[in-house]
Every structure is written in C-alpha cells, then in structure tokens.
A and B are shown apart, each in its own frame.
Chain A
Amino acid sequence: MNGAVDRPLDITVDRSRPGTVVLVLTGDCDYETAGGLRDAAEEVLRLRPAPRSLTVDMGGVGLCDSSGLSAIVSVWQLTGKAGVSLRLIGIDDRLMNVMEITGLDGVLADALVPDPEAAGRSAN
C-alpha cells in the first residue's frame, strides 16, 4: 500500500460513570480490527454487576468499512440480548451516510439518539 495507511483500532474502556461503560474507539474499524470491538463489548457484558448501558464512542474512528458496520450490528445484537441499552456517539457524516444507505440508521435508531449525559459531559 502506498499512502493508504491502515491504523490499528485502540479501544479504551471508561468506567468512571456508575452503571455505564464507555468504549472509546480510536483508529480504523475494518476487517482486521473490527473483531476487537466485538470482543470488548462481550467483555463488558460479562462484567458483574452488569452495566445498565454501553456507550460506544466512535469520534476517533477514521475508516469504518462493512466489517466495522458488522461489528456495530454485533454489539447491538449482544446488548439487545443482554438487556443492556446501547448508545453510539461520535458518528461522523460519512459513517452516518453509510448507515442511511444500508438502512442501519433505522435499525439502530434507539442507539443513535444523542445521549443527554454524554452530550452534557462533552459540553463540560
């Protein structure tokens, strides 16, 4: 590859707010790295006591390809089964556009509602 540099995906787990775990993603979420997001979510859902909600902060994500989307869908399915509410924040226009094309914006509508707490936090 000349130029198109793949970045790894860093996932930071933020548990500073009670009942909520925030996964902060930085890097590319693609075929090679998307598995990490799924694994991280599974780990969060194994926590006891279980968190009430999981927030995935995609603000630091550069590229998100179909495998990345698939990982997001996985996380949505896993949280749904576990009864944990999911929020996706920091989604850029391009990714939002892809979500619109694929119809995922409808599927993930609940998760895409801006989180007042997260919004409040970033305003601080």
Chain B
Amino acid sequence: MRETGRRPGAASALIVTSPHRIPEPPPGQAAGRHVPGAAVGASVLRALVEDGPALVVCDTEGGVVFRNSAAETLVPRLRDARRLASPGVPQWLSEAHARGAATAEGPAGDREVTATRSPLPDGLTAWRLADVTEERTACRRLADERGRTRFLALASARLLASLNRSKCLQTTAELAAGQLADAAVVVAPAGRRRMTLTGAVAGDAPREKSLPAAADVEEVPGLAEALAGFPPVPSRWVDPALAPQWLLPPGFGELGSLVVTPLPGNGVPAGALVLLRRAGSPAFTEDEEVFARVFAARAGAAISAAVLYADKNDTTEILQRDLLPPPLAPVEGLDLEGAYRPARAVERIGGDFYDVHPCTFGEGEEGTFVVLGDVCGKGPGAAVLTGRIRNTLTALRQVESRHDRLLRLLNDTLLRRQGADARFATMVLADATPLGHGRVGLRLTSAGHPAPLILRGDGRVEEAETRGTLIGVVPSVTSTTWETVLEPGETCLLFSDGVTEARGGASGNEMFGTQRLSGALAECARMPVRAVVERVEMLTAQWLGGNEHDDIALLAVGAPRGSHLTAVDGTGRGRYTG
C-alpha cells in the first residue's frame, strides 16, 4: 500500500470504519507472493480499491464509511469527514446522495468533478468520483473555437456582402461590438486628411462621424501606430483613463478597458479597430486580443477592397462623364435629337461621342456646330482620348471654322500627344445654319467616318458625299466637305458604326449594315427628328436581340416642319436680316 506513493500518509487513508473492515492480509500473502490459481485475497482487493479511481462509500444516512486516497486527493476534506454533508465536501454530492440521484456533477475546489452512484451490499453506496476538468476545458475551448469560427464565417459573409466603404465600416463596428466588446470604434482614413470614426454600441445601430478637428489620434495610445500600419503594432493595453472622450460612442458610460488593433489593408492600412469595455465588464484576455486581430484581418481586407472599388468606380464615373453626350438645348430654327446607348459591358465602353455648340461661321453667320465621332478601342484609354478630342475641338472651333483646317489642326494636336499610339478617331463635322423659311444649310465633312444619311421629304435617302482621312494616325490628313440644304421636314442623320455594325438578325451574327439603315430611314419620311431617332434606335435594338453591342450614337439634325410660317416675318431677333 505504501508503495502506491500517492502522497505521504495516503495509505492510512484506507480508513476502515467497523464493521466494514477489509481484513488485513495474512502474512505470507503480501504483494508479489501470490500463489497462482489461488483466490484473490483481501490484500489484492485493498490494492485494487486503493489504487483505483476516486471512491467514497457511504451509508444510507450519508455517513462516510470509506474513501480511498484518490478521493482524498480530489476532495481533501473527505479525509476527516465523517459525513458527506461536511464543510469542504461539495454540497452537490451530499444532496445527490440524499435524493438518491444516479449521477451528479459540480465543482470541487478548482476542479470539475462528476460522481456516479453504485449500490453496494449492506445498504451501502459507492460514489465514484472523476476529475473532468481537462475534458470540460477542452470541450469549452472547442465550443469557443466553433463559436469564433461561426462568427468569422458570419463576419466574412456580412463584410463581403457590400463593396460600400461606409457600410463595411459600419458592419465591422457592429460585429465587433456584438461579439468582442461592449462597443467598437473603427477609425479609418477618408481621403488624405480626414478620418472617420464609425462607432457601435452592442445592440445599437452604428454611427459614423468625422474625427473632430481638435482631436488627434495621438491622444489614444497605440492608435497612431495602428493607423500607420507598419511596422505592425501589436494590440496593447491602454490605460482607459488616457482615452479621450471623442473616442467613446455617445452614451457609452465609463470606460473599463480598451484594445487597439490595426486593420491591415492592401498595402496601405485600412484603419484601426478600437474595442471598448465598460467599467465592470471583464478585461480583455490575451486570447480575446488574438482573436480580435484575426477578426481585424478579415475586416481590414473587406474595407480596403471596398475602398479600392470606390476609387475605381470614381475613376470610371469620371471617365464616363466625359463620354456622355451633353443634353441638347433647343436651337431656334433647327431640330436636334440625339441618342446614345453606351455598351452594356463596362469593358466594351468605347469612345462614341457627340457635341453641339452654337457658333458663328465666317461673316456673322450664326448657326450650330455639330460633331459626332468614334474613338477606336475601348476602356480608359479610349475615354481619355475622347475627352481630349472633345475639348480640343471645342477650343479650335473658336479660331477655325473651315472643316478641313479644323481637322488638320486636331490631327496635329493628337499626333503630338505624349505616348502617341495607333489609337485613332473618326468623326463627322456638321455646320447647320438656319436659312429662313424653315430651310437649313448643312456643311458636312467626314474624317474617316461613315457618311451621314439625308432623308428627303419624298423618302429618298442620300449619302453625304464627303470623305476624309481618320484623325490621329498620319501626319497629313485630307477631307472633302459636302454642302446641302434641308427643306422643312427633312433630316440628316449622323451615326456611329455601332449602328451599322450591330450584330444580330436571324443568324445572330449578321451586321445591320448601311443598307438596312437606309431602308429604315426611308420609312421615316417627314417624321419629326425625335421619331426618326427613336425608330432607328428601336430597329437596332431589335436587330441586336439582346446581343452585346458597342457604343451606339445617333444624332439627327432636322429642318423644322412648318416653322417657316413663323420665320417668314420672324424679324424679332434680327437673325435673318442678311
């Protein structure tokens, strides 16, 4: 017995209360001298019991009649206890014994213990005690870990659901406040100088505010480092007394502890996450701090993705703004109608454009300058060149009204641009001058662009006889200008090859072509320009039948029907005095 070596004096723990005495072994049957085949003697039983799992034997009254040394190790007070219901012996055990429960469990000191009842002869009961502290801790860890994994999965799903920066910041604050702290504040740069604070108190909707002008991130220890991003700063304990008031969400109460964690971004840090707990809440454990960092890594990635997306979107919007044609203001003595259908797919957005400028031609002759063009290629490169061409043309138009010279100047300008490549533009220039009596004089010049079509009053469709070199490729360009007069009700249609090259039809792959466009126009004789444009647009859309298409631009210049009735004596503005 003494060889079990549990602890000094443990052997004496085989307390035997008469009459339940396990007899001492007779001499000669000591351990190691057992005769094979003989019945197991009392000394062997003693050894088994003493060496086995924790065991307490009680009588019906709750009196302790026996406990082995393992039981004493687990519950030291059992050693001297005569009854289960003694100070220092878990109350839950004596209660379980009293009510005849089969199993029970509860704390014993700093251990967690389970007890299982086994009935014994003579009205005795054995309680087998087991120390399950490690097992329970492991289970709890696993459950915690599962909970965190679930939380991270949920967090990722929610964070990735939006590419909106504000929404991402709010979600981060809301999730952190709900799971990691009593409240959370996300500090994130917004532009070069501004900072936003997105704060959420657990259970409340998050709120975003700007960092007050008088506030300085340096006031929160560790925050400036977290925001600087590199070298990565570990979250660190901060004396809550040092935290400035602006950091706390309104109505938060007294601050107990806080953790500052960097939100790692895409090269540039996305911001910092500040976790707040109220006075009275438990302080952050090391484990929680590590977990906060894991969460922050995911949140940071989502936030920086949103910021990148916003930047890219801004850029695209700015570029597209330059591509969009202007709204057409009404012009006296002239009908104008445009349609612009940009390519649906962003990567197919190209450089179709049109512009309309009121201007003076030569000797005080007033009219309208119209240009419709197409910059080859797609994407940002085409968009930038489109903007450049529109600006250059607007400026050059002030000093040069002759189309051929204008195109030469534009070509020279484009050829001189930095990093000139083979990107070119084609366009049609048109000068429209009201001639009085509802007639409109037209000067048309194509620079490598499909020639405009003129719809006459009788339904004939003419192709403008103008031709010229495309712009931006060769040092010298030539062009021929064609002049005509639109009678009241007649229309001239400028279009981009997005119309004629629209692929669709019965085979799904045939081009709409100039022939079909002419045919469609012929059916529009004497229609108002708006109806003409809408009709061509509709036919093109039908032809496409849902196919992808490039940009489509249409611009109709018409001589107003019937307007000559008012123009005959229209001397009010002295327009037709020539």
Contact = CB atoms under 8 A, between A and B. Distances in A.
Given A66-B497, A102-B448, A107-B469, A3 B422 contact: no
Nearest to A107: B474
Interface stretch (A70-78, A82-90, A114-122): A70-78
Contacts of B378: 31, 67
Nearest to B479: A103
Size band of the B side of the interface? 35 or more
B469 A73 contact: no
B372 to A, nearest CB: 14
A38 B497 CA distance: 23
A65 interface: yes
A102 B504 contact: no
Q: Which 5 pairs from chain A and chain B are nearest by CB? A: A3-B508, A103-B469, A102-B448, A66-B376, A74-B422
B507 A65 contact: no
A47 interface: no
B424 A101 contact: no
Interface in B483-517: 497, 501, 503-504, 507-509
A31 B478 CA distance: 27
Contacts of A107: 469, 473-474
A4 B474 CA distance: 33
Interface residues of A, number: 23
B467 interface: yes
Given A73-B473, A77-B422, A103 B468 contact: yes
Given A67-B378, A70-B422, A101-B449, A4 B548 contact: yes
Contacts, number: 80
A16 interface: no
A106 interface: yes
Interface in B406-431: 421-424, 426
A1 B501 CA distance: 15
A4 B447 CA distance: 29
A101 B448 contact: yes
Q: Pick from B374, B423, B448, B497 the residue with the most CB of A within 10 Å.
A: B448
A1 B467 CA distance: 34
Contacts of B374: 66
A29 interface: no
Contacts of B421: 74
B495 to A, nearest CB: 12
B450 interface: yes
Nearest to B549: A4
B422 A2 contact: no
B547 A70 contact: no
Contacts of B545: 2
A101 B450 contact: yes
Nearest to A5: B509
B153 to A, nearest CB: 37
A67 B547 CA distance: 19
B547 A73 contact: no
A101 B466 CA distance: 9
Contact of A103 (B376, B450, B470, B497): B470
Contacts of B548: 1, 4
B546 interface: yes
A104 interface: yes
Contacts of A73: 422, 424, 473
Nearest to A38: B422
B477 A103 contact: yes
Contacts of B422: 38, 70-71, 73-74, 77
Given A66-B374, A70-B424, A2 B469 contact: no
A38 B423 CA distance: 13
Nearest to B511: A94
A69 interface: yes
A104 B508 contact: no
Contacts of A2: 508, 545-547
B530 interface: no
A67 B350 CA distance: 11
Interface in B377-392: 377-378
Q: Pick from B447, B474, B548 the residue with the most CB of A within 10 Å.
A: B474
Contact of B547 (A1, A38, A74): A1
Contacts of B451: 101
B514 to A, nearest CB: 9
B501 A65 contact: yes
Interface string B516-556: 00000000000000000000000000000111101000000
27 contacts: A1-B547, A3-B508, A3-B509, A4-B509, A66-B424, A66-B426, A69-B376, A70-B422, A70-B423, A70-B424, A73-B424, A74-B422, A77-B473, A101-B426, A101-B446, A101-B448, A101-B451, A102-B426, A102-B448, A102-B449, A102-B469, A103-B477, A104-B448, A104-B469, A104-B473, A107-B469, A107-B474
